[in-house]
Amino acid sequence: MHFDVSVSSPYEKWGGTKAIGEAAKHAEAVGLYGVQFGEHVVTPGVWYDNFVLASHLATLTRKLRLTFSVLVVPYRPCIQTAKLIATLDVISQGRINVTMTAGWMQHEFEALGIPFETRGPLTDEYIRAMKALWTEERPSFQGRFVSFPSIVFEPKCVQKPHVPIWIGGSKARALRRVAELGDGWSPDAGTPDEMAARIATIKGMAKTYGRDSSAFTFAGTLGMGKPTLEMSPRVLKYYPERPLETPEQAIDYIRRYQQAGVSHLSLRFAWESPADYMRWMEWFAAKVMPAFR
């Protein structure tokens, strides 16, 4: 079981990028797998650009995995996105995971001038085109939304055949996207029972596409500690009905995820300050992680 932590919920609580950098270094020091970044562009609050922030954290760390959770695929032109991802994989020496999604916030699409209604098929096509750019010597692609002739595209990803592509979302189209195009699944939230049912669905669908799902990563999200009234509904959904406040409670609940087929958990902490966040990471690494080694 791999464990990482989100540093983007919310960014305002950090008081700046220096504290985020210190948190990333501390996550590496205590033995966590990585850190995750959410994505919005014009939503209220502070939202740093993932590529810039991940590049910064890559230079501060040596082993920490950097996971985009998520990258909203329609927000950027396909070839430029593929270039950004491949370059970041080179800078980090192969430490990038990317959770790709079609997006859901319609007003953000409208502000960016991107059609909301075609986001699903556009996402599928962009993923296929990016794979061509990363794996073919002289990539070419012909599609509805993106086309390019035989072109030169460098650098390629350090990771082969390309960076791991996890798919976000829990609706039918997202599950199909995992089965057909993904290397893993990372939904926004889900109980162990919900994850087990959808993992079984994905594995069955993968067979219909002639794909072996045994190497897929199935990732969940789990809130640790007692949630507060100030938390938004989008954060509260990560927390189980019974708060996980002791190592024993956390270990027992995480084992349920393991039994469901989950091999990666992203942690959300009920924290008040950067120092509090650091203590949570230390507590989890010392009291919970040893049970899963």
Please state, as a whole number, how many other Cβ atoms lie within 10 Å of the Cβ of residue 137: 8
Both tokens of residue 76? 């950027």
Q: What is the CATH number of the domain that holds 209?
A: 3.20.20.30
Number of domains in the chain: 1
How does pLDDT run along the chain (293 residues), one tens digit per residue? 999 999 987 899 999 999 999 999 999 999 999 999 999 999 989 999 999 999 999 999 999 999 999 999 999 999 999 999 999 999 999 999 999 999 999 999 999 999 999 999 999 999 999 999 999 999 999 999 999 999 999 999 999 999 999 999 999 999 999 999 999 999 988 999 999 999 999 999 999 999 999 999 999 999 999 988 778 887 889 999 999 999 999 999 999 999 999 999 999 999 999 999 999 999 999 999 999 99
- Judged by DSSP in three states, 72 sits in strand
Quote the distance between the C-alpha of residue 179 and its chain's center: 17
Sorted by sequence, the CB contacts under 8 Å of residue 116 that are 6+ apart come out as 106, 109, 110
**Residue 47 identity:** W
- Judged by DSSP in three states, 87 sits in helix
Distance between CA 277 and CA 159 in Å, rounded?
31
Total-model pTM: 0.96
Both tokens of residue 96? 């990038």
Look at residue 219 in the predicted model and tell me its pLDDT. 98
CB 50 within 8 A of CB 68: yes
Look at residue 10 in the predicted model and tell me its pLDDT. 87
Q: Which residue range is the domain that position 283 belongs to?
A: 2-292
